[in-house]
Amino acid sequence: MRDWLRLLGHVTRQTLRSGRRSAVVLAGLTVGQAAVIAAMALSQRALVDSSAAHRVAGVVAAVVVGAAAYAIMAATGRIRGNLMIILVARTRARLSEEIQRRVSSIPTLTHLEHAPHIDRWNRIFDSSGAIAAMPWSALDSVVSVLGLVVTVGLLVSVSPWLVLLLVLAVPLVLANRWADRALRDARDAGTPLLRRSTRLHELCVTPEPAKEVMLSDGGAELGREAGRLWDQAARQEAAAQLRGAVRRSLAWAVYAAGFAVAMVIVADLIHSGAATVGTAVLVVSLVTQLQSQLRQVLDSMAVAAEAGHAVSHYWWLRRYAESFSAEGAAPPAALVEGITLDEVSFRYPGAGDDALRSVSLSLPAGSTVAIVGANGAGKSTLIKVITGLYAPTGGSVAVDGVPVSDLSPEMWRARLSGVYQDFARLRLRLRETVGVGQVRFVRQGAAVGEAIERAGAPLLTGLEGQLGAEFGGPEPSLGQWQRLAVARSLMREVRGDLPPLCVVLDEPTAALDPLAEREMFEHFVGQVRAARLRGAVTVLVSHRFTTVRMADHIVVLDDGRVTEQGSHADLMAAGGGYAELYHLQERAYR
Ligand SMILES: Nc1ncnc2c1ncn2[C@@H]1O[C@H](COP(=O)(O)OP(=O)(O)OP(=O)(O)O)[C@@H](O)[C@H]1O
């Protein structure tokens, strides 16, 4: 409840920022609605009483007040509706931007890769409309309850027994709550199915995976599976809706029976002379009004419940994002000692085993370090831990003796560059594709041009030309995309007050032959010379020993552990696994 109230406060502030005047008008109209409802009910009563007492002036006054109340209700209803749509849409946009900002502030990758985290995401985005509408559903609930109180008060003035109609509303409230919860659980259970279905669909329509899907003729099968998952989620939701509708109908049946009993009570009152026919008219009108007010209360409670469910996900995100302190020391201007790892271990969330086990390494300032190992040995994971994309689950990484966890994540990120194994193919304007490597300089054509030239990347189009066949531009080959990714990473070299302290190259060259790969690594290492002179550590991952041997220091990983390390000469002299693999590759290429 506390979290719900805090979020209500937050969304109310966002709503006021989205349009203070509209919000005040809307709130006034909503609260005024309660007064209008009361005026309508009171005018009905006055109409009945005045006509029974043959007071013409009273009848006229009641008709005028009643008609004015109806007219105000009808006229303001549309204004209210439109204002609400506009305000909720604006608030929703603000909330989406805020959520996006909070996500971008998280310096690690886990929340983007771990399924339960991704599902929380989707639920926040799915419910963002209900969250943005929170102030209005809360106000609507209060106003509807006030209207209910007025109606019930008038009914009680006819006969105290009529208060029982309100008791009959209890099954309605309970049935509604049950139905909301069942629907929410069904949506939660459907989220992973929908995520999987969307991913399968993307496999068929995104050019890169789609070519393999076509080759294996698996498109129809994947499409069927995506459809099946979608259907399963839709069926679960429909079943929950149906079960909820059955319970609601039963509760309304109980309410209708109560309505019949109320009519019997009123008939008895008329029969005994304790009430007039006018009273019967009043009761019918009030009971009908009570029914629509109950519906309103239940509807606004349903919207509040939908938002209420998202509340836990929203606060989870905020707390998770805030657990990564944005504060911290600035990294050194230049590295003196280097980067050290002390007993670092890392386990992916939900995994049964560690991907890195007690890794202790010293990466001296200015050195080039190569990491080798079989597939799945943990090379990419190690790179991501070194660069802070994953926080170690044990041990620590330090930069010139300062733990990375004590550095400002933003400032540390600004001092990293490189190319990852799965580099992005950013189909943007050429200037943007490369310039986003140092986003502050993305508009500086000269800087982008220099990075492209230094990377030896192709000028398939002018700097303002659009890349990507799907956008009508030239489509770079795989090797050309690699060069563009290298150019992007060099943006931090060619512009920027402070060059990178750590440069990583995680096998972005898998498509090149060994000699081309070596040439590219040499070229890259040459290009980041300025950074190395300021102590930057260059970390390479490669399976090719022709590349690996040029590094100052080589680290051999096996099943998440460091099994050997040293210079190429040291490792060859030691005659261990490294030397064996080196000879094997050497023979293969001879
Ligand atoms: N996002 C992830 N979530 C869970 N487990 C992962 C994830 N990424 C990698 N792993 C697991 O961590 C281990 C190490 O993977 P990693 O990608 O670091 O290996 P690698 O040495 O770079 O392999 P390769 O040479 O094939 O690129 C593997 O067992 C892999 O299954």
CB-count burial class (<10 Å; 0-12, 13-18, 19+) for 323: exposed
What's 332's DSSP letter?
P
Ligand 1 mutation target, pool 108, 357, 379, most atoms within 8 A of CB: 379
- 477: helix, coil or strand? coil
Helix then strand then coil, % of the chain, to nearest 5: 70, 10, 20
**What is the spatial distance between Cα 109 and Cα 265, in angstroms, rounded to a whole number?**
67
- Assess if CATH 3.20.20.10 describes domain 327-415+500-590: no
The single-letter code of the amino acid at 334 is: A
Whole-number percent of the chain with pLDDT over 70: 96
Distance 577 CA to ligand 1 centre (A): 21
Q: Which helix (H) or strand (E) holds 104?
A: helix 56-104
Predicted pLDDT at 399: 93
**What is the atom index within ligand 1 of the atom nearest the CA of 543?**
25
For the segment 88-93, the average pLDDT, to the nearest whole number, is 93
Q: Which atom of ligand 1 is nearest to 377's Cα? A: 21
CB atoms within 10 A of CB 302: 18
Nearest to 541 by CA among 502, 507, 577, 585: 507
pLDDT tens track for 501-538: 898 888 766 656 666 677 777 777 776 677 777 788 99
Please name the residue whose Cα sits nearest to atom 24 of ligand 1: 375
- The vertex-408 CA angle with 405 and 409, nearest 5°, equals 75
Please tell me the distance between residue 507's alpha carbon and the centre of ligand 1 in angstroms. Answer: 13
Sign for the pseudo-dihedral over CA of 243, 245, 246, 250: positive
pLDDT at 480 over 70: yes
Query: What is the side-by-side order of every strand in the sheet holding 338-346?
Result: 356-364, 338-346, 394-399, 402-403
Q: Which residue has the tokens 């002390």?
A: 342
- Give the residue-averaged pLDDT of 52-80: 85
List, for residues 17-47, the tens digit of each pLDDT value.
988 999 999 999 888 877 787 787 778 777 8
**Cα 410–Cα 411–Cα 413 angle in degrees, nearest 5:** 65
Centroid of ligand 1 to alpha carbon of 373 (angstroms): 12
The total number of residues shown for the chain amounts to 590
pLDDT higher than threshold 90 for residue 389: no
Average pLDDT of the chain to the nearest whole number: 84
Cα separation, 39 vs 273, in Å, equals 28
- What average pLDDT does the segment 558-575 reach? 93
Integer-rounded Cα Rg, in Å, for the chain is 34
Would you state the pLDDT for residue 510?
61
What pLDDT is attached to residue 513?
Answer: 65
Strand 338-346 vs strand 356-364: parallel, antiparallel, or unpaired?
A: antiparallel
The binding-site residues of ligand 1, defined as CB within 6 angstroms of any ligand atom, are: 113, 348, 351, 355, 373, 375-381, 421
Q: Is residue 589 over pLDDT 80?
A: no
pLDDT digits (tens, 9 = 90+) for 276-296: 766 777 777 777 777 777 777
- What's the gap between Cα 57 and its chain centre? 62
Q: What angle do CA 100, 122, 421 make, to 5 degrees?
A: 70
- Residue 355 CA to ligand 1 center (angstroms) comes to 7
Q: How far apart are CA 209 and CA 278, in angstroms?
A: 74
The closest residue, in CA terms, to atom 9 on ligand 1 is 381
Cα-to-centroid distance, 98 and ligand 1 (Å):
32
Question: 489 Cβ partners below 8 Å, 6+ apart?
Answer: 417, 418, 419, 437, 503
CA–CA separation, 99 and 101 (whole Å): 5
CA distances from 484 to 15, 423, 441, 476, 520 (A): 43, 10, 16, 9, 13
Give me 457's structure tokens. Answer: 């990347």
CA distance 381 to 387: 10
Ligand 1 midpoint to CA 379 (Å): 8
Confidence of residue 492 (pLDDT cuts 50, 70, 90): confident
Query: Does the structure show a pLDDT above 70 at 7?
Result: yes
Instruction: Convert the pLDDT of each residue in 228-270 to its tens digit.
Output: 999 999 999 999 999 999 998 998 888 888 878 877 887 887 7
Contact 137, 297 (CB under 8 A): no
CA-closest residue to ligand 1 atom 25: 375
Q: How far apart are CA 34 and CA 150, in angstroms?
A: 9
- For residue 91, the model assigns a pLDDT of 93
In this prediction, residue 560 carries a pLDDT of 94
- With the most atoms of ligand 1 within 8 angstroms of its CB, the residue from 109, 110, 372, 381 to mutate is 381
Q: Return residue ranges of the chain for CATH 3.40.50.300.
A: 327-415+500-590
Tell me which of 437 and 122 has the higher pLDDT.
Answer: 437
Cα–Cα distance measured from residue 169 to residue 145, given in angstroms and rounded to the nearest whole number: 12
- Give yes or no for residue 331 having a pLDDT over 80: yes
Provide the b/e sequence for 131-142 (b: ≥16 CB within 10 Å).
bbbbbbbbbbbe
Closest ligand 1 atom to residue 348 Cα is 4
pLDDT of residue 524: 74
Q: Distance (Å, rounded) from C-alpha 573 to C-alpha 551? A: 16
User: What's the CA-to-centroid distance between 381 and ligand 1, angstroms?
Assistant: 6
> Separation of 378 CA from ligand 1 center, angstroms?
6
Does ipTM surpass 0.90 in this model? yes
Q: From CA 302, how far away is CA 133, in angstroms rounded? A: 12
Cα(560) to centroid of ligand 1, in Å?
10
User: Using CA positions, which residue lies closest to atom 4 of ligand 1?
Assistant: 348
Its pTM surpasses 0.80: no
As to burial, measured by CB atoms within 10 angstroms (0-12 exposed, 13-18 middle, 19+ buried), residue 162 is buried
State the first-to-last Cα distance of the chain, in angstroms, to the nearest integer. Answer: 72
pLDDT in tens, 211-234: 777 777 777 888 888 899 999 999
Dihedral of CA 84/85/91/96: which sign?
positive
| Residue 291 main-chain phi, psi, to 5 deg | -60, -45
Angle between the N-to-C axes of helices 219-271 and 169-205, in degrees from 0 to 180, rounded to the nearest 10: 170
